[in-house]
Amino acid sequence: MSETIRVGMSQLVVAEAPTILVTLGLGSCVAVCIYDYLLKVGGMAHVMLPDSSLSNDVTNRGKFADTAVVDLVSALQKKGTAKERMVVKIAGGAQMFSYQGIDNQIQIGVRNVKAVEENLARLGLTITSRSVGGNLGRSVFMDLSTGDVRVKMLNSPEIIL
Amino acid sequence: MIHNLTPLQLDAIREVGNIGAGHAATVLSQLLNQKVSMSVPEVNILPLAEACDVVGGPEQPMVGVYLRVFGGAPSKILYLFPEDKALFLAGLLINDQEKCRNLLGELEVSALKEIGNILTGAYVYAFSNFTGIDMLSSVPALAFDMVGAIINTVLADLGEMGDYALIIKTQLSACDESVDGHFFLVPDPGSLATILAALGVKDGCQKRSGSECPN
């Protein structure tokens, strides 16, 4: 029986097979999933905000795209994973509310995705597959035995990244 | 500051929540011509990682009506209704249950947004009168999705200031629970101090002549 670990908003978890990393109900947040097929080790970060430099409290580094990506990669490297073997998949960043103007928070999903992409690129990592944007929330299940990332959306068929 | 609020401050916040939600419930009752009951507001202070679970399973589909409150104490207001209850509510408002079958239909969306608008108007008016803080609400936005995703989107920007969310949660129900929903008020991090000051509990205890502050 494989163990399931919930990755809540702003959390970052690294584990190994046969664990399943799960985040339920992602809206504008982005789940960054990185996996090493050889070691069957992987991690997930549940990113809420694009940029730690806009914040005055950076104690929880898992919250921001820039710090979370760096920390996730280095946590995996500590487990013996090399960057060349890292397979990166991302999901989330939806725009949940259709809304006219005034609040740039509403655009936060788009900004989160962009920030995650930029920060991964800065570390020389490419994204293998993604399910981002749109206006539907997502639940993400990352199976560390296979590296499959299942994405569930309301009233839509399941996607495997 | 959120997680070291004193019991008195929490009580004061709960009381404002009570007054606001009381007015909103009265207005809902007039709107629907039905008796509306309301729970005592709960003040929840939650780590962000757990905030999505505040109404139960995060994958449950719900309708969320979201508004921003501007002015002296910027905040967010969110109404959550399970899908069947939302349809029933929309049906009550336009007085035709037959017409309300599709949650994302134009008529239903419009009716639900209008309910959010009216309830928020009543809430904000009461809140503003009681505290003397000027407040104004935005136009409503609506989403029908997994409740975790709705909450997660609404709370995302709180992360800029800290790791906790303060949520004032009230449950409203009417028509033998055929209408049943949650109502959240989430003050922006900076607004909490303004609200506490307006309530006279900025320092954690009410200053009255002749009475000492217990520490």
Least confident among A96-100, A118-122, A134-138, B162-166: A96-100
Question: What pLDDT is stored for residue A74 in this prediction?
Answer: 94
The ipTM assigned to this model is: 0.85
B184: helix, strand or coil: strand
Confidence of residue A124 (pLDDT cuts 50, 70, 90): very high
User: Cβ contact (<8 Å) for B152 and A136?
Assistant: no
More confident residue, A70 or B85: A70
The C-alpha of B172 sits at a distance from chain A's nearest C-alpha, in angstroms, of 23
Chain B residues within 8 A of A55 when measuring between CB atoms:
159-161
pTM comes to 0.85
Q: Which residues of chain A make contact with B66, given a CB cutoff of 8 A? A: 97
Cα A146–chain centre separation: 17
Chain A residues within 8 A of B143 when measuring between CB atoms: 96-98, 135
State the pLDDT at residue B200. Answer: 84
Of residues A100, A136, A137, nearest to B148 (C-beta): A137
Tell me, yes or no, if A29 is annotated catalytic. Answer: yes
Fold of B2-198: Chemotaxis protein chec (3.40.1550)
Write down the pLDDT at residue B211: 40
Q: Cα dihedral angle (B149, B150, B153, B159), rounded to 10 degrees? A: -90
Domain boundaries, chain B: 2-198
Which residue from A minimizes the CA distance to B68? A103
Mutation target for B interface from A97, A132, A153: give the one with most B CBs within 10 A.
Answer: A97
Tell me which residue in A10, A102, A154 faces B159 most closely, judged by beta carbons: A10
Task: Answer yes or no: is pLDDT of B209 > 80.
Answer: no
Domain ranges in chain A are: 4-160
* Maximum average pLDDT range among A27-36, A95-104, B75-84, B166-175: A27-36
Higher local confidence (pLDDT), A117 or B39? A117
Min Cα–Cα distance to chain B from A150, Å: 15
User: pLDDT tens across B166-201, in order?
Assistant: 888 888 887 776 677 888 888 887 888 888 888 888
Nearest Cα residue in chain B from A26: B149
Catalytic residue among A21, A29, A30, A48: A29
Average confidence (pLDDT) over B78-102: 80
Cβ–Cβ gap A96/B153 under 8 Å: yes
The per-residue pLDDT for B210 is 39
Inform me whether the pLDDT recorded for A106 exceeds 80. Answer: no
User: Domain A4-160 carries which CATH code?
Assistant: 3.30.1330.200
In angstroms, the Cα distances linking A65 to A42, A45, B62 are 18, 9, 28
Average the pLDDT over A90-96 and give the result.
Answer: 91
B contacts of A57 (beta carbons < 8 Å):
160-163
**Residue A114 in tokens:** 């962009």
* Secondary structure element (H or E) that encloses residue A89, with its range: strand A86-92
